[in-house]
Structure 1
Amino acid sequence: MIRTILLALFSFIVLPTMAQDLEDLLDKEVGPQTDYTSATFKTTRVVNFHSVEQMKAGQLDFRINHRFGKVNSGSYEFWGLDQSTIKLSLEMGVTDWLMLGMGRSSYQKTYDGFYKVRLFRQSSGARNFPVSINYFSSIHYNSLKWDNPNQTNYLSSRFAYTHELMIARKMNERISLQLAPMVMHRNLVPTAVEPNNLWATSIGGRVKLTNRFALNVEYCYVLRPLTQRTDITYTNPLSFGVDIETGGHVFQLFVSNSIGNSENHLIGETTGKWSKGDIHFGFNISRVFSVYRNK
């Protein structure tokens, strides 16, 4: 009986005290920890534009981006399904903070390449930082045949460039928001009154409904000088989509008033109007492969 009582006292008094002393000792040795936010968005895209998510070092993302024609094209075009554009791309995490990518789109036969750098990550604990910040830069090459091959045409006229700063915050486990100011430069524009530089800001959001399903929305406001407007009525791209994760695949299904699937097309060439039914259905498929392990 005495042994039982002593063992009980030891278990309830001595052991918790020893455990607390050990925990305090570990805290002193290891120091306070920093908890970094993860999975602000499901993939590297909100819908059309990039998100702050990046591929981890050694991971390769093979992406298929598909856009159909306008829904208001009618039954003859099967409500846009008879028309389509497609983009194939490879995107890889070189390090956990640097991502590179390249792709080719059937729209204007465009080749593009980009790099994305993680500058800051949202974190709490020892290091408290309220948002994630990434820098993105891309180059686009239009390989369509010249409209007038008899005149002097310059190779540099085929290029366009974009620069973007993405600022995102994961508000909680379900809601994420992103703000991304950007600028695009075109070496050659369709008419003399159109500006070579276009400034824009995209706003994106994600609502996570389940572990494998989320709703996304994305809007980009493009600043166009009133004195330089053309006969073409440009609009701002607005897109709604869903993310569906199935193992190693992530499917993004969406509707948008833009047929473009690269930054230069989205910012500079969107003409569709939601009010008139100029809506394109599209999807993105992402398949991730492990090329090497990050040591």
Structure 2
Amino acid sequence: MTRHSYAIARFSGLVVAVLLGLTSSAQAQTDLLNDLEKQTTDPLKREVVTATFKATHIINSQSIETPGNGTLAFLIQHRFGTLNSGAYEFFGLDQAVLRLSFEYGLTDRLAVGVGRSSQEKTFDGFLKYKALQQTTGTRAMPVSVTLFASSAINTLKFNEPVERTTASRLDYTYQVLVARKFSPALSVQLMPTLIHRNYVAKEGMQNDVYAVGAGLRQKLTKRLALTADYFYLLPGNTAKTYQNALGVGVDIETGGHVFQLHLTNSKGMTEKFFVPQTDGNFFKGDIYFGFTVARSFTIKSQL
């Protein structure tokens, strides 16, 4: 073999070796990508569906979400007066109702909360438990179910001949929150509700009020979502006297907190108010503009 032929042979061998190495590397990379794709898209893998809603409240109603294990959420809920109150009341901005509350995740599925509303100087407390979580994959669970129970006490001073007893000031709420995240953009929730009132002011008014609520969240952009909720009062004297609560709004995610803007015909911000005592007609302009600011703090890891 001549020196020229030997050089050509060596160069050819080197080219072949490089091509084989590249082919082997490409094949290994392809296998790795295939493995990763299989892990992330495996239809048999059971995974919990998260972030059905981005806050613990939709508008008036609670959502299925809890703050999470060791997380403390501080909520500021604010309602101005009705938009049709006129220029003298600055279209409701001269009036205000405020609720402050804390919600804490004892576990990822169990939360407790306390709040105080300026309306009727009401204190409330609640328990919230995720009984079922929506999953995908093998034996998928189609919905999430959260159980909610709360009590509220009116602390107003009454100008009555006989002072109201503590028991007569109490109201109770029981709800089953059933939600499904249909896609990354759309979530829907149903809310069978019972309100029990120990005291009613007029004869014939219901101590037990039943309602069915519905809520939704439709994502519009990465940080903006449309929200709505509605409570239908089942037939009875309460339904004849009061209105069904309706709310529409937007959620704005701003990093550390969720900022919620909404319009609703309900002045109150706890179940004892907006389910059985909503007296505003949304379609006649009895609309309260309000907002909710939720800020979360991680507590457990800092202890």
Q: TM-score, normalised by structure 1?
A: 0.89
* 1:77 to 2:93 alignment: no
- Kindly provide the amino acid, as one letter, of the partner of residue 143 in structure 1: T
Distance in 2, Cα, partners of 1:64 & 1:15: 55
Counterparts in 2 of 1:73 and 1:23: CA distance versus 1, 3 Å: closer
* Partner residue in 1 for 2:110: 98
Match of 1:188 in 2: 199
- Paired with 1:18 and 1:217, the residues of 2 have a C-alpha distance of 47
The aligned residue for residue 76 of structure 2 is: 64
Specify which of 214, 235, 241 is matched with residue 249 of structure 2.
241
User: 2:51 matched to 1:39?
Assistant: yes
Query: Is 2:139 the counterpart of 1:131?
Result: no
Task: State the 1:121 CA deviation.
Answer: 1.2
Q: CA 1:229/1:90 → structure 2, altered by over 3 Å: closer, same or farther?
A: closer
TM-superposed deviation, 1:131: 1.0
Give the equivalent residue in structure 1 for 2:264.
Answer: 256
What are structure 2's unaligned runs of at least 5 residues?
Answer: 1-11
Over aligned residue pairs, what C-alpha RMSD do you find?
2.6
Deviation of 1:147 after TM superposition, in Å, equals 3.3
For the residues of structure 1 that align with 2:238 and 2:116, how far apart are their CA atoms? 30
Conserved in 1, the CA contact under 8 Å of 2:209 and 2:238? Answer: no
Partner of 1:272: 280
- Provide closer, same or farther for how the CA distance between residues 14 and 284 of structure 1 changes in structure 2, counting only shifts above 3 A: closer
Match of 2:177 among 163, 166, 171: 166
Q: Which string of whole-angstrom CA distances, capped at 9 and with x for unpartnered residues, describes residues 137-166 of structure 1?
A: 101011111231x32632100101001011
Q: Is 1:217 equivalent to 2:250 in the alignment?
A: no
How many residues align? The count is 286
Whether the 8 Å CA contact 2:206–2:238 is kept in 1: the answer is no
**Alignment deviations for residues 47-73 of structure 1 (CA, whole Å, 9 cap, x no partner):** 110011111111111100001111111
Question: How much has 1:198 moved relative to structure 2?
Answer: 0.6
Contact 2:238 2:276 (8 Å CA) reproduced: no
- Deviation per CA, 1:61-87: give whole Å up to 9, x if none: 110000111111111111111111100
In structure 2, what residue type is equivalent to 1:120?
L
C-alpha deviation, 1:7, in angstroms: 6.1
Residue 42 of structure 1 deviates from its aligned partner by 1.6
Q: 1:33 to 1:266 in 2, by over 3 A?
A: same
Percent of aligned pairs sharing the same letter: 41
Aligned equivalents of 1:292, 1:38: Cα separation in 2: 21
Counterparts of 1:205 and 1:139, CA distance in 2: 25
Aligned to 2:297: 289
| Cα pair 2:74 2:296 within 8 Å, conserved | yes
Q: Report the CA distance shift for 1:186/1:39 in structure 2 as closer, same or farther (over 3 A).
A: same
Indicate the SS of the match to 2:168: helix
Query: Does the C-alpha gap of structure 1 residues 14 and 279 become closer, same or farther in structure 2, counting only changes over 3 Å?
Result: closer
Equivalent-residue separation in structure 1 for 2:175 and 2:54 (angstroms): 20
The structural deviation recorded for 1:14 is 9.5
**Which stretch shows the higher mean deviation, 256-265 or 271-280?**
271-280
| Counterparts in 2 of 1:196 and 1:248: CA distance versus 1, 3 Å | same
Q: CA deviation at 1:8?
A: 4.2
Structure 2 residue matching 1:72: 3-state secondary structure: helix
Write the distance in 2 (CA, Å) between the matches of 1:17 and 1:283: 54
Q: For 1:177 and 1:106, how far apart are their aligned partners in 2?
A: 30
Which of structures 1 and 2 has the bigger CA Rg?
A: 2
- Does residue 1:120 correspond to 2:138, yes or no? no
Show structure 1 runs of 5+ residues with no match.
none
> What TM-score do you get using the length of structure 2 for normalisation?
0.87
Partner Cα distance (2:67, 2:247) in 1: 23
